[in-house]
Amino acid sequence: MAVSPYVARLRAHVGHDLLLLPGVSAVVRDDAGRVLLARRHPALGRPDAL
């Protein structure tokens, strides 16, 4: 798996010490209980990059 440029820069400073990289995920539902689904952006590949 490729390392992101952000993590590579951190690694250049801290070496092999532990990195805490928090993240978040959620399931979004409407009043009828339907789940919101997001499509991936073709260039960015992440649904959160809208």
**pLDDT tens by residue, 3-38:** 889 899 999 999 999 999 888 888 899 999 999 887
Quick check: 21 and 7 in contact, CB under 8 A? yes
Confidence band, pLDDT 50/70/90 cuts, at residue 2: confident
Quick check: 35 and 29 in contact, CB under 8 A? yes
The one-letter amino acid at 46: R
Q: Would the pLDDT of 50 be above 50? A: no
